[in-house]
Amino acid sequence: MRRHGDLMASDCLFCRIAAGELGTRFVYQDTDVVAFADLHPQAPTHILVIPRIHLASLADSGPDHDLVLGKVLAGVRTVAAQLGLAHAGYRTAINTGAGAGQSVFHLHAHLLAGRAFAWPPG
Protein backbone atom coordinates (compact mmCIF):
# COMPACT_ATOMS: atom_id res chain seq x y z
CA MET A 1 0.00 0.00 0.00
CA ARG A 2 1.23 3.49 -0.85
CA ARG A 3 1.77 5.83 2.07
CA HIS A 4 3.06 9.36 1.69
CA GLY A 5 6.67 9.66 2.76
CA ASP A 6 7.30 5.95 2.25
CA LEU A 7 10.79 5.17 1.02
CA MET A 8 9.35 3.78 -2.19
CA ALA A 9 5.96 3.07 -3.72
CA SER A 10 6.21 0.12 -6.08
CA ASP A 11 3.41 1.46 -8.30
CA CYS A 12 5.04 4.88 -8.72
CA LEU A 13 6.89 5.60 -11.98
CA PHE A 14 9.27 8.13 -10.43
CA CYS A 15 10.06 5.84 -7.48
CA ARG A 16 11.08 3.24 -10.03
CA ILE A 17 13.22 5.80 -11.89
CA ALA A 18 14.86 6.92 -8.63
CA ALA A 19 15.60 3.29 -7.76
CA GLY A 20 17.38 2.86 -11.10
CA GLU A 21 14.90 0.23 -12.27
CA LEU A 22 14.23 1.88 -15.64
CA GLY A 23 17.81 2.69 -16.63
CA THR A 24 17.18 6.45 -16.66
CA ARG A 25 20.38 8.50 -16.91
CA PHE A 26 20.76 10.83 -13.94
CA VAL A 27 22.26 14.25 -14.59
CA TYR A 28 22.67 14.59 -10.83
CA GLN A 29 22.09 12.42 -7.78
CA ASP A 30 22.86 12.50 -4.08
CA THR A 31 21.54 10.72 -1.02
CA ASP A 32 18.19 12.55 -1.12
CA VAL A 33 17.37 13.46 -4.73
CA VAL A 34 17.93 12.43 -8.32
CA ALA A 35 17.65 14.57 -11.47
CA PHE A 36 17.00 13.46 -15.03
CA ALA A 37 15.78 14.83 -18.35
CA ASP A 38 12.05 15.21 -18.84
CA LEU A 39 10.61 12.78 -21.41
CA HIS A 40 8.53 15.56 -23.00
CA PRO A 41 10.77 18.64 -22.82
CA GLN A 42 9.04 22.01 -22.78
CA ALA A 43 12.28 23.94 -23.25
CA PRO A 44 15.76 23.24 -24.69
CA THR A 45 16.78 22.26 -21.14
CA HIS A 46 14.09 20.50 -19.09
CA ILE A 47 15.25 18.56 -16.05
CA LEU A 48 13.18 17.02 -13.26
CA VAL A 49 14.53 16.93 -9.72
CA ILE A 50 12.75 14.46 -7.44
CA PRO A 51 13.17 13.20 -3.88
CA ARG A 52 14.17 9.56 -3.54
CA ILE A 53 11.40 9.06 -0.98
CA HIS A 54 7.83 8.91 -2.20
CA LEU A 55 5.89 12.12 -1.69
CA ALA A 56 2.84 12.36 -3.92
CA SER A 57 2.89 16.14 -4.07
CA LEU A 58 3.91 19.24 -2.17
CA ALA A 59 0.44 19.26 -0.62
CA ASP A 60 1.03 15.73 0.65
CA SER A 61 4.23 16.71 2.44
CA GLY A 62 4.47 17.99 5.99
CA PRO A 63 6.97 19.51 8.39
CA ASP A 64 8.76 16.17 8.63
CA HIS A 65 9.70 16.61 4.98
CA ASP A 66 11.09 20.14 5.16
CA LEU A 67 14.65 18.90 4.93
CA VAL A 68 14.06 16.85 1.81
CA LEU A 69 12.01 19.67 0.25
CA GLY A 70 15.02 21.90 0.72
CA LYS A 71 17.18 19.21 -0.87
CA VAL A 72 14.94 19.25 -3.95
CA LEU A 73 15.50 22.99 -4.39
CA ALA A 74 19.19 22.59 -3.65
CA GLY A 75 19.25 19.91 -6.36
CA VAL A 76 17.74 22.38 -8.82
CA ARG A 77 20.42 24.92 -7.86
CA THR A 78 23.19 22.34 -8.28
CA VAL A 79 21.97 21.12 -11.66
CA ALA A 80 21.53 24.71 -12.87
CA ALA A 81 25.08 25.50 -11.81
CA GLN A 82 26.42 22.33 -13.44
CA LEU A 83 24.72 23.27 -16.71
CA GLY A 84 25.83 26.90 -16.50
CA LEU A 85 22.28 28.24 -16.37
CA ALA A 86 22.49 30.64 -13.46
CA HIS A 87 23.59 33.67 -15.48
CA ALA A 88 20.96 33.42 -18.24
CA GLY A 89 18.27 32.36 -15.76
CA TYR A 90 15.93 29.45 -15.49
CA ARG A 91 12.36 28.65 -14.52
CA THR A 92 11.60 26.31 -11.60
CA ALA A 93 8.05 24.97 -11.34
CA ILE A 94 6.30 22.52 -9.05
CA ASN A 95 2.82 21.58 -10.21
CA THR A 96 0.70 20.56 -7.23
CA GLY A 97 -2.51 18.70 -7.97
CA ALA A 98 -4.20 17.82 -11.24
CA GLY A 99 -5.80 21.25 -11.41
CA ALA A 100 -2.35 22.82 -11.56
CA GLY A 101 -1.15 20.41 -14.23
CA GLN A 102 0.44 17.69 -12.11
CA SER A 103 0.34 14.42 -14.02
CA VAL A 104 2.89 12.30 -12.14
CA PHE A 105 2.09 12.00 -8.45
CA HIS A 106 5.59 11.86 -7.09
CA LEU A 107 6.78 15.35 -6.14
CA HIS A 108 9.09 16.86 -8.74
CA ALA A 109 10.56 20.25 -9.52
CA HIS A 110 10.84 21.20 -13.17
CA LEU A 111 14.00 23.05 -14.18
CA LEU A 112 13.47 24.75 -17.53
CA ALA A 113 15.94 26.89 -19.45
CA GLY A 114 17.13 27.88 -22.88
CA ARG A 115 14.22 30.01 -24.03
CA ALA A 116 12.26 33.06 -22.90
CA PHE A 117 9.53 32.44 -20.32
CA ALA A 118 6.32 34.40 -20.04
CA TRP A 119 4.71 35.53 -16.82
CA PRO A 120 2.09 34.65 -15.72
CA PRO A 121 2.69 31.05 -16.80
CA GLY A 122 -0.04 29.36 -18.82
Residue 78 DSSP code: H
- Out of 36, 49, 58, 69, the only residue in the binding site for ligand DGP (CB under 6 A) is 36
Q: Is 40 a catalytic residue?
A: no
- In sequence order, which ranges of the chain are alpha helices (DSSP H)? 13-18, 66-82
Among the options 54, 65, 106, 108, which is catalytic? 108
Task: Select from 7, 10, 13, 66 the one that contacts ligand DGP (CB under 6 A).
Answer: 13
Residue 57 or 65 having the CB closest to ligand DGP:
57
d(CA 51, CA 89): 23
CA separation for the pair 106, 104 (Å, rounded): 6
Is residue 25 a contact residue for ligand DGP (CB under 6 A)?
A: no
| In the complex, least distance from residue 99 CB atom to ligand DGP, rounded to whole angstroms | 12
**C-alpha closest to that of 37 among 105, 116, 113, 117:** 113
Does residue number 103 form part of the binding site for ligand DGP (CB under 6 A)?
yes
